Structure 1
């Protein structure tokens, strides 16, 4: 298939921003200004809207939109019900666990998630990659490498889930029930803000190191099966 005939590919980073990052920021930052209910409704709008757009345009369900909806519903629902402490720690661990399971499951599909994340035709010359794999008769070996790299990516989410749980258990302590409902809501929002801030250092940095290691492993496998270097694959 030529580049002109190729269907428009989904941007994985835009996918993450609309389905995960923006809803989390809305729940964390806007609840104290508009209330937990309206923050929940607004946060739900992003993965719902993006998922509906993706369904109409590509005729398939966006799995990350579904995960984003679940994450928003869990976080906002717990806040609305006034549930705190241990359950928020469970929720913080549940989301990366769900993502990890989704990524792990994709390893056994025709297109493992690692291909969607890194081998984007708008950035890489995937037609050259496929041509070289055919000429080297390395398609099966390449797909096995993609499966293994995807499993490593799933493991990184499991590692993130463990760190999330340990950090959340320290931050999400029980809130004084003698406080007014508004004061309890503010205290919970402060805990969520702390979790977001600390997770950047405690979770994001190790995860990025893990991701860079996976990327190195991925590119090493591509070089071994195709003989192509990174600069040869990148589009001008």
Structure 2
């Protein structure tokens, strides 16, 4: 009789290492390895500026394609990440002015911010996908509780407010990324110094774009949780999907 719960617990334990491995793989292939290559192997006695860029950017591209193939889903964020890496490589190898890198760095989160705002006028709100994902939230139960209190329309307005918070986080990251690129990329494109600066920018851009975005994303989540409880009269946990 106790075998089924034990098996379920064992399955849950098996899921944790996979999630950790996914995070560590993402960190290693997208940040750590490229930064090490750009910072330490860009000298003429090693790979040189051009080949160090090619090798460094190959890791996030290959990892991104492998992750897409493994998941079997076309993830817009993953595609955007791959395009961003390819653009960085192209701009660097063509020895275009650093201004192009700065514009590209600002454009990626900027596009995401605009997408969040536009999605509010469609049936595929990015806030619902990111924060109120149907794999996490039991929307049938939530909608039923909102209708009982006649607060469905009001909750939609709260989602719109949270979308402004999420969009603002991307616009903040866009601004910070642009400033970071302008401050760090000061050497002549195509030189070893420029390649090392690119590695430094890559290392710093991750926390620059992630930290403010995560803070504001959690703020949007906290706001929606409070509104969910206020407008339904029920605890947020009662709307969490049960694992099948």
TM-score, normalised relative to structure 1: 0.72
For 1:143, the equivalent position in structure 2 comes to: 156
Given the superposition, is the C-alpha separation of residues 75 and 228 from structure 1 closer, same or farther in structure 2, using an over 3 Å criterion?
farther
Q: Which residue of the other structure, out of 142, 145, 158, is the alignment partner of 1:129?
A: 142
Matched, 1:64 2:66: no
Q: 1:1-236 residue pairs with structure 2 within 5 A?
A: 24-25=30-31, 27-30=34-37, 32=41, 35-51=52-68, 57=72, 61-175=74-188, 184=191, 186-199=192-205, 202-234=208-240
SS at match of 1:82: coil
Q: Hey, what's the Cα distance between the residues in 2 that align with 1:100 and 1:23?
A: 25
- Aligned residue pair count: 211
Structure possessing the higher radius of gyration over alpha carbons: 2
Query: Is the Cα contact below 8 Å between 1:27 and 1:40 reproduced in 2?
Result: yes
Q: Hey, what's the Cα distance between the residues in 2 that align with 1:17 and 1:112?
A: 25
Q: Hey, what's the Cα distance between the residues in 1 that align with 2:140 and 2:234?
A: 12
Q: Hey, what's the Cα distance between the residues in 2 that align with 1:143 and 1:48?
A: 36
Query: Is the Cα contact below 8 Å between 1:172 and 1:191 reproduced in 2?
Result: yes
Alignment RMSD: 3.3
Query: Cα offset for 1:170?
Result: 0.8
Given the superposition, is the C-alpha separation of residues 48 and 202 from structure 1 closer, same or farther in structure 2, using an over 3 Å criterion?
closer
Query: Is the Cα contact below 8 Å between 2:169 and 2:212 reproduced in 1?
Result: no
Query: Cα offset for 1:232?
Result: 3.1
Gaps of 5+ in 2: 1-18, 42-46
Q: Hey, what's the Cα distance between the residues in 2 that align with 1:69 and 1:174?
A: 25
Query: Is the Cα contact below 8 Å between 2:187 and 2:193 reproduced in 1?
Result: no
TM-score, normalised relative to structure 2: 0.70
Query: Cα offset for 1:202?
Result: 4.9
Encode CA deviations 1:180-205: one digit per residue, 9 max, x unaligned.
x6xx2x43342123223434565543
Q: Hey, what's the Cα distance between the residues in 1 that align with 2:142 and 2:104?
A: 40
SS at match of 1:35: helix
Encode CA deviations 1:139-195: one digit per residue, 9 max, x unaligned.
3222232222112211211111111111221111123x7xxx6xx2x4334212322
Query: Is the Cα contact below 8 Å between 1:88 and 1:168 reproduced in 2?
Result: yes
